[in-house]
């Protein structure tokens, strides 16, 4: 096996493991529907719809996916065993292949700045560390900014990761203005000629106007220090909380202009189908999927691989 194939198969195994509960939820009731040939069985199609709803794809998407299966199963030339799986994979892949806003690359010699945002406890700090680990593994020079100044523990949490990964961390005392941390972090990243600056921010309720305003300020300060920064704003959503992510995303999009999504805790939910509902509502691309708590448990989001892991046994 070539190294890249080995790499891919272990990533796929992790994705598969992460989606295990969702896969089980999706197919628990389906039974014969996945064996449907060109005579669609109404009971089996109902079971498929129930399975899709249970996996949290949202009622509209569930109905559309079933309609697609029905149309294909009714075609004379579709007399294969696994028409359901084939149609689901193709439809899910198509729906998740969203382009989203153009992500501008950093100017040559200047750090690429990624701002991590989201409500409390979604996995921002952990994902920041995972992205730092990736950057380091790819030979990049990485700087971390502890712009969650709400709690001393938040800075400490990122410090533990920084020392484990051996990357510099810019921090201020707790209670400091997070925009000031970002200002200093940009200066440090420029001085070090870093490739990547990752900014961890405090969790905030999307309905709190003043906290959302604070993110706009962070954004302005970053842009003033480094041209085009932040180049990416990643909204970190917890898959376990399901559709509430849509309301969160709307507000974050308004205040800071989200460029992509990270869906965390896909390993801890039977509702991973929510990714379809969220992408449908927001037309934002999923950039990464979190499937665990270690630095390795972050996967590039690949719609086809995701659909395959969700649908195949
Ligand atoms: N199973 C699982 N746990 C995760 C994942 N990502 C994060 N966690 C866990 O979720 C908890 C919260 O993660 P944090 O990274 O601290 O979340 P946060 O968004 O920074 O939280 P606040 O800063 O308090 O808003 C921690 O226990 C993490 O280990 C994931 O993909 N899978
Ligand atoms: Mg945090």
43 and 164 co-located in one domain: no
Q: How far is the CA of 129 from the centre of ligand 1 (A)?
A: 11
Question: How many separate domains does the chain show?
Answer: 2
52 and 128 co-located in one domain: no
Omega of the bond prior to 230 within 30 degrees of 0, cis? yes
The closest-lying atom of ligand 1 relative to the alpha carbon of residue 291 is 31
> Helix, strand or coil for residue 242?
coil
163 and 60 co-located in one domain: no
- What single DSSP character describes residue 75? S
Last residue of a domain, one of 63, 96, 129: 96
> Helix, strand or coil for residue 131?
helix
Domain that holds residue 175: 112-258
CATH label of the domain that carries residue 75: 1.20.120.140
Query: Which of 4-8, 100-104, 189-193, 210-214 shows the lowest per-residue confidence on average (mean pLDDT)?
Result: 4-8
Q: Of 195, 198, 150, nearest to 170 (Cα)?
A: 198
146 and 191 co-located in one domain: yes
Asked if residue 220 is part of any domain, the answer here is yes
39 and 130 co-located in one domain: no
Q: How far is CA 89 from CA 96, 120, 157, 244, 310, in A?
A: 11, 33, 39, 25, 8
253 and 116 co-located in one domain: yes
248 and 121 co-located in one domain: yes
Q: How far is the CA of 238 from the centre of ligand 1 (A)?
A: 8
Q: Between vectors from CA 122 to CA 95 and to CA 104, what angle results, nearest 5°?
A: 55
Confidence band for 82, pLDDT divided at 50, 70 and 90: confident
Asked if residue 152 is part of any domain, the answer here is yes
Q: How far is the CA of 123 from the centre of ligand 2 (A)?
A: 7
Q: How far apart are CA 171 and CA 104, in angstroms?
A: 27
The closest-lying atom of ligand 1 relative to the alpha carbon of residue 204 is 25
87 and 125 co-located in one domain: no
User: Average pLDDT over the chain, rounded to whole?
Assistant: 88
Asked if pLDDT for residue 37 goes beyond 70, the answer is no
Asked if residue 64 is part of any domain, the answer here is yes
130 lines ligand 1 (CB under 6 A): no
**Predicted confidence (pLDDT) per residue in 282-308, tens digit:** 889 999 999 999 999 999 999 999 999
Asked if pLDDT for residue 90 goes beyond 90, the answer is yes
148 lines ligand 1 (CB under 6 A): yes
């Amino acid at each position: 096996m070539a190294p890249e194939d080995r790499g891919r198969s272990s990533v796929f195994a992790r994705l598969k493991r992460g989606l295990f509960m969702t896969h089980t939820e999706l197919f628990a009731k389906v039974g014969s529907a996945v064996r449907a040939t060109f005579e669609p069985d109404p009971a089996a199609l109902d079971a498929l719809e129930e399975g899709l709803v249970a996996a949290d794809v949202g009622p509209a998407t569930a109905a559309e996916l079933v309609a697609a299966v029905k149309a294909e199963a009714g075609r004379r030339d579709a007399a294969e065993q696994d028409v359901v799986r084939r149609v689901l994979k193709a439809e899910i892949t198509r729906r998740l292949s969203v382009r989203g806003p153009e992500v501008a690359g950093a100017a040559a010699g200047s750090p690429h700045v990624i701002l991590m945002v989201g409500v409390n406890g979604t996995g921002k700090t952990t994902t920041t560390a995972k992205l730092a680990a990736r950057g380091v593994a790819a030979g990049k020079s990485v700087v971390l900014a502890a712009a969650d100044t709400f709690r001393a523990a938040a800075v400490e949490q990122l410090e533990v990761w920084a020392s484990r990964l051996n990357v510099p961390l810019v921090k201020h005392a707790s209670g400091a203005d997070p925009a000031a941390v970002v200002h200093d972090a940009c200066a440090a990243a420029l001085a070090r000629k870093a490739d990547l600056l990752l900014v961890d921010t405090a969790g905030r309720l999307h309905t709190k106007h003043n906290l959302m305003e604070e993110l706009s300020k962070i954004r302005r300060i970053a842009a003033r220090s480094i041209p085009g920064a932040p180049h990416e704003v990643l909204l970190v959503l917890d898959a376990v909380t399901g559709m509430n992510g849509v309301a969160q995303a709307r507000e974050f999009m308004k205040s800071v202009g989200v460029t992509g999504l990270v869906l965390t805790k896909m390993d801890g939910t039977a509702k991973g189908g929510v990714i379809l509902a969220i992408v449908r509502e927001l037309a934002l691309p999923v950039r990464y999927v979190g499937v665990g708590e270690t630095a390795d448990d972050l996967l590039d989001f690949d719609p086809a691989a995701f659909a395959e892991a969700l649908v195949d046994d």
